[in-house]
C-alpha cells in the first residue's frame, strides 16, 4: 500500500513546494517509487522547482476529465527513474477536482508507487482540502513566525476533522512538523521562535528543521531540488528528513549558530 503524504501549511510561501520536491526526490534516490502531485490547480509550480516545466504536455485535470491517461500525464524525472511528477493544470478552474475523481487517480497511482506526495496549495479552500483529504500522513511546513504557526494550527484542525480518515473514524492522519527557514543565530538573539517554542505551541512530533539557506534559491533557479546540493545545510537537513520518514533515528543538526571567533564578535560582521 502506498503511503499518501500531504505537504501542507495553510500559509503560502513557507516552502511546501521546495519541501515536496526535496523529499520526493530524496525518497526516490533511496530506491522507492515516488509520485509527486501538484494540487495547486491554476498556479502550477512544482514542475518549475523540479526542472521539468518544458516537458508538461498533459496535467492532473486532463486526467480527471479523461482527456489523457495517467501515463500520458506523468513526467518521468530525468535524474531518478523511480520518480514521476503529475503537474497541476494552469488554466482550469479549481472545482475540477472532487473527492471521487481524485480518489480514483490516487487509487490508480497506489498500484504502482510506494509514496504519493501531495503538494498542497496555500489556504484552506477546496484545493487544499482536496490535497489533504486522502492523506495518511501530513508534513506541516511551518516558518518560525507568528502567522505561519497560527495557520499551521488551523491546518491541524482541518486534518483532524476534514480528512477521509476523520470522516470514516479511522486512525488519524500522522502529523509531522517541518520547520523551514530556521535561523539559529536569530533564535539565539531572541528574534525568532525556537524549535522548542513551535513544538510547544503546535504539539506535534518534529520531522525536521531546515535552516535558512541561500542554497534553496539557487536550487529553484536551476530546477534542481535542494536535496541534490549535498554540500549545503538545507540539502543535508532534507536528507535527514527523508531518513526519518523511512524510520531511521537521525540526530537534529543546524540548530545552533556557528560560533564566531572573538575578533568577528568584537568588530562586528
Name the one range near other proteins by CB under 8 A: 27-35, 37-45, 149-157, 174-182: 149-157
**1 forms part of the interface with other proteins (CB under 8 A):** no
In the list 4, 56, 118, 187, the residue contacting other proteins (rule: CB under 8 A) is 187
* DSSP of 66-114: TSS-HHHH-EE-SS-TTEEEEPPPSSS-GGG--HHHHHHHHHHHHTT-S
**261 forms part of the interface with other proteins (CB under 8 A):** no
As a whole number of angstroms, the distance between CA 255 and CA 235 comes to 15
In the list 78, 104, 253, 265, the residue contacting other proteins (rule: CB under 8 A) is 265
As a whole number of angstroms, the distance between CA 201 and CA 233 comes to 26
- How far from 206 is each of 26, 35, 209, CA to CA, in Å? 18, 24, 8
In the list 67, 93, 107, 200, the residue contacting other proteins (rule: CB under 8 A) is 200
**CA atoms within 13 Å, Cβ hemisphere of 114:** 14
Binding mask 87-126 for other proteins (x = CB under 8 A): ----------------------------------------
**168 forms part of the interface with other proteins (CB under 8 A):** no
**Contact predicate 46/74, CB 8 Å:** no
Nearest Cα to Cα of residue 8 among 93, 129, 104, 163: 129
**Contact predicate 23/241, CB 8 Å:** yes
Name the one range near other proteins by CB under 8 A: 60-68, 77-85, 114-122, 152-160: 152-160
**Residue closer to other proteins, measured from CB, 112 or 183:** 183
In the list 153, 199, 224, 243, the residue contacting other proteins (rule: CB under 8 A) is 153
Name the one range near other proteins by CB under 8 A: 18-26, 60-68, 74-82, 144-152: 144-152
Residues contributing to the site for other proteins (CB under 8 A): 145-146, 149-150, 153-154, 157, 161-162, 187, 189-194, 197, 200-202, 265-269
Amino acid at each position: 500500500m502506498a503511503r499518501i503524504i500531504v505537504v501542507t501549511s495553510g500559509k503560502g510561501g513557507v516552502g511546501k513546494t521546495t519541501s515536496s520536491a526535496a523529499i520526493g526526490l530524496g525518497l526516490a534516490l533511496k530506491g522507492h517509487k515516488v509520485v509527486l502531485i501538484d494540487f495547486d490547480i491554476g498556479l502550477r509550480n512544482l514542475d518549475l522547482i523540479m526542472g521539468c516545466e518544458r516537458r508538461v504536455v498533459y496535467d492532473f485535470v486532463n486526467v480527471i476529465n479523461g482527456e489523457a491517461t495517467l501515463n500520458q500525464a506523468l513526467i518521468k524525472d530525468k535524474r531518478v527513474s523511480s520518480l514521476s511528477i503529475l503537474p497541476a493544470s494552469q488554466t482550469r478552474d479549481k472545482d475540477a477536482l472532487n473527492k471521487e475523481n481524485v480518489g480514483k487517480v490516487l487509487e490508480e497511482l497506489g498500484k504502482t508507487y510506494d509514496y504519493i506526495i501531495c503538494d498542497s496549495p496555500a489556504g484552506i479552500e477546496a484545493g487544499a482540502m482536496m490535497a489533504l483529504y486522502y492523506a495518511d500522513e501530513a508534513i506541516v511546513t511551518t516558518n518560525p513566525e507568528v502567522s505561519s504557526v497560527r495557520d499551521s494550527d488551523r491546518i491541524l484542525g482541518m486534518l483532524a476533522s476534514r480528512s477521509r480518515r476523520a470522516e470514516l473514524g479511522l486512525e488519524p492522519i500522522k502529523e509531522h512538523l517541518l520547520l523551514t527557514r530556521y535561523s539559529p543565530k536569530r533564535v539565539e538573539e531572541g528574534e525568532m521562535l525556537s524549535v522548542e517554542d513551535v513544538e510547544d505551541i503546535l504539539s506535534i512530533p518534529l520531522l525536521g528543521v531546515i535552516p535558512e539557506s541561500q542554497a534553496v534559491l539557487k536550487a529553484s533557479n536551476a530546477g534542481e531540488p535542494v536535496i541534490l546540493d549535498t554540500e549545503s545545510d538545507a540539502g543535508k537537513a532534507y536528507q535527514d528528513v527523508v531518513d526519518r520518514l523511512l524510520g531511521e533515528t537521525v540526530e537534529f543538526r543546524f540548530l545552533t549558530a556557528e560560533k564566531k571567533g572573538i575578533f568577528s564578535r568584537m568588530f562586528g560582521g
